[in-house]
Structure 1
Amino acid sequence: MHLAVYLPLFFPLLAGPAARPLADRLEPRLATWVLTTASVVLAAGSTTVLGLLALAGLVRIPRIARLADLSPAVLGRDDPAWLPVAAPAAVLLLAVTVVASRFLVRRVRAVCAAVLESACFPGQDPLVVMEEPAADAFAMPGLPGRIVVSTGMLATLDETERAILFAHERAHLRAHHYLFAAAAQLAATANPLVRPLAAQVSYTVERWADEAAAGTAGDRRRVAVTVGKAALATQRSGRQRRLPAAALGLLGRRGAERRTDGDRTGLDKAGPVPRRVAALLSPAPTGGKWRAVVTAAYLTAAVLCTVEATQDLHEVLERARGG
């Protein structure tokens, strides 16, 4: 097997440096698609390569080669994988499979529970008001999806700001943002190197909904004020927010974006809510598409390397079967 088999393991190394610029410079809808796709492609490529290395090392074992009707001599000559590399790859593949499977099962259960809970609310009105003094609001997927808001949040906002809140949550439901977040988080579970991408997806889906609300309200500054007021009201309530796993809310998720660079200052060090407010107080993003093009080229290279490595192993096994 050629060098191409190892390259997909290194492609995710650029995920960290590239995640924040993509989230900040691209239009939020485009940024969400680009970041989610990048997360899935990079994680899938690295996981596939782990499988190829593990399989290539496995067939080097003479007894297994004979059981598969493969020639140990041909396999040894073509040297599809170095055993000291194949063994750790097999261990990592097993760990990835277990961790990702557990996450997937938990997330599927969470979505099913959210859909069931949403269906259990009386009537077909998508708006559900909770008698709760703490300020909170979130969207739950379902048939129909529901916008759940507390009386504390409603008391905090005026009529226009409530309309902005509802427009934000409707955008989450209409665009199925929970699917983007789940896909990116699954990818990050399979490959921790893409976690910065998944964290930015949690931010960009909120920015996507912010821009949708701004389009409905026709006033970006008022949307920024609404986000800020809701954040302050939630902080003053003193209650730990516990969003359902499949839900998305006006304030996003606590700890969705971890700051790892202690040297950052100003907005670079700010959390998601201040970043969103600053973005809303600035003109709507329209540029940066060249970043999406470069990212697409980078992901294409990662896919081609994975395909090349797969084809390489297939040819080796075919020669061993013929030998």
Structure 2
Amino acid sequence: MTYVLVVVALTLALPWGGAAMANSLADRLPPRRACRMLTGAAVLLAGGTVAALVGLFQVPFLASLERLPLSRVLEAWPAAVPVAGAAGVVMLSQLALLVRRVQRHRSLLRRAWLSADEGTGGGDMLVVPGQDVDAFALPGYRGRRGRVVVTSGMVRSLDPGEREVLLAHERAHLAGRHHLLSVVVDLAAVVHPALRSLRETLGFHLERWADEEAAAAVGDRRVAAAAIARAALAGASQRRTRGYPLLSATSGPVPRRVEALLRPASTAPPGRAGRAGAVALAGSVVLAAVVALVTAYGLHEYVEYAARRLTGAS
């Protein structure tokens, strides 16, 4: 069973390489595609991790299904029960952390809606009174449709053209349902620590996605860049107390976002070398995830085979 442990260890180590490759690939893709790739990679790599743990946890149960006494299993693999127990403890810990994380997201959303209830406005925008300088996209909650929430302090900080950019940015978050992508990656990061790096990368590219949509809506990338910079500067001196932090125009590495907006929009297809690099990285991410899942299934088959050998079955 040493072979099994080595294979499972490699499976659990794959997300470190897969996450690094996904982060590298994201910088070579347009924001929309980068966000979808990062989310898919997180789900696949987290799924492979869970599958490997389930495979280890099932060893004693598979033996019982094969009518193999546990004593015979322990003769062949003395560590079977401790390893299965450790896998079970890890999965229980993951489940507890996932439940806690889901509750945290619901609490953030509930508090954000409570703060927005004092706002006024029509359509999809609410203006909340006060000196705070903030703006964020508020996803739908309990039958309420999503809204763009802007504080009166933010409204005063921007001129009409900059306010148009800000609203277009937050509307892009709502239209793209960016909160779902963010929550999925955040939950996947609970499953394996290697996936935590994907959260920050995804957050940046979600903001870049909304920035590009806003620039297209107003038709001027420099105006969009100036509005994002002004909004971030206006809110930089205060602590965020109201907003839904996943979808705010002032979050993320703003200088990098502004720099990207000041460059011309990329309309030309990537060169051969760029395409080859992107395909290679994407293939590596998918391969890492698929190998993890296949290895977990192979572990299940290997345990059944070992059980038949121990019982002398053909």
- Structure 1: gaps (5+ residues): 254-271
- Aligned-residue offset at 1:87: 4.0
In structure 1, what residue type is equivalent to 2:189? Answer: A
What's the TM-score, normalizing by structure 2?
A: 0.81
Show the counterpart of 2:38.
35
- Aligned-residue offset at 1:16: 5.5
- Aligned-residue offset at 1:103: 0.9
Correspondences of 1:176-195 after superposition (within 5 Å): 176-195=177-196
Q: Distance in 2 between matches of 1:117 and 1:130?
A: 8
Show the counterpart of 1:10.
13
Say whether residues 1:138 and 2:136 are aligned partners: yes
Change (3 A) 1:233 1:123: closer
Q: Distance in 1 between matches of 2:78 and 2:221?
A: 57
CA contact (8 A) 2:11 2:295 kept: no
Deviates most, 99-108 or 215-224:
99-108
Show the counterpart of 1:251.
250
Cα distance per residue 1:52-84 (max 9 Å; x no partner): 11222x448xxxx55x46313774687597555
Which 4+ residue blocks in structure 1 deviate beyond 6 angstroms? 115-123
Show the counterpart of 2:97.
99
Alignment root-mean-square deviation, CA: 3.2
Show the counterpart of 2:67.
70
In structure 2, what residue type is equivalent to 1:313? Answer: H
Say whether residues 1:303 and 2:304 are aligned partners: no
- Aligned-residue offset at 1:185: 0.6
Deviates most, 147-156 or 21-30:
21-30
Q: Distance in 2 between matches of 1:19 and 1:173?
A: 25
Show the counterpart of 1:241.
240
Q: Distance in 1 between matches of 2:150 and 2:277?
A: 37
- Aligned-residue offset at 1:144: 2.3
Q: Distance in 1 between matches of 2:250 and 2:76?
A: 56
Say whether residues 1:158 and 2:159 are aligned partners: yes
SS in 2 for 1:6: helix
What's the TM-score, normalizing by structure 1?
A: 0.79
Cα distance per residue 1:215-242 (max 9 Å; x no partner): 112211111111111111112xx32013
Change (3 A) 1:91 1:307: same
- Aligned-residue offset at 1:290: 4.3
Q: Distance in 1 between matches of 2:130 and 2:152?
A: 6
CA contact (8 A) 1:96 1:189 kept: yes
Q: Distance in 1 between matches of 2:115 and 2:275?
A: 40
Q: Distance in 2 between matches of 1:239 and 1:132?
A: 13
- Structure 2: gaps (5+ residues): none
Identical amino acids, percent of aligned pairs: 38
Q: Distance in 2 between matches of 1:80 and 1:49?
A: 19
Correspondences of 1:225-240 after superposition (within 5 Å): 225-235=226-236, 238-240=237-239
Q: Distance in 1 between matches of 2:28 and 2:242?
A: 28
Q: Distance in 1 between matches of 2:182 and 2:247?
A: 9
- Aligned-residue offset at 1:152: 1.4
CA contact (8 A) 1:164 1:223 kept: yes
Residue 282 (structure 1) aligned to one of 254, 263, 271: 263
